[in-house]
Structure 1
Amino acid sequence: MLVNWDANLLRESETSWHPPPLDWIKINVDASLLDSNLASIGGVARDSKGSLLLAFGKQKLHWDINQLELEAIFALKDFIQD
């Protein structure tokens, strides 16, 4: 059971996904950062049936995980505009 814990939270997404309400879109973004300052940002969007609508990812070079999380949101905006 301990393999399912990260930052003291149970990873429910590994066993179940909760869809958004009908006619809504659920968007998830995330960022990861290595000690070497190599980073990645990305995200996915799914409809209420769980169908994948879009996915994106970018490699970055940064040192602040909070800034990277914010950049993931802005990257989604840029991706949608394109």
Structure 2
Amino acid sequence: DGQTITIGNECFRCAEVMFQPSIGGMEVSGIHESLLSAIMICDLDIRKDLFANSIFSGGSTMFPGMVERMQKEMTSLAP
């Protein structure tokens, strides 16, 4: 119909909510914090391998920069 639609930060919020669920009204941990929790309950001797070899998959990984963001967040949380 020729109508122009301007999209603001909405295009980023759907991906950002995975890291900051509170912006979507949810009181849960972000995906990076959940991964850290899962790794930390494993035996100490395999944690380094888990940090280095975690697989991030699914449709949401197709958002531009998503994998890099996950790497950045995990690097900042890694003990």
- Do both proteins adopt the same fold according to a TM-score greater than 0.5, normalized to the shorter chain? no
Question: More helix by proportion, 1 or 2?
Answer: 2
Q: TM-score range by the shorter chain?
A: under 0.3
Larger gyration radius, structure 1 or structure 2: 2
Please give the TM-score of this superposition, normalised by the length of structure 2: 0.26
Question: More strand by proportion, 1 or 2?
Answer: 1
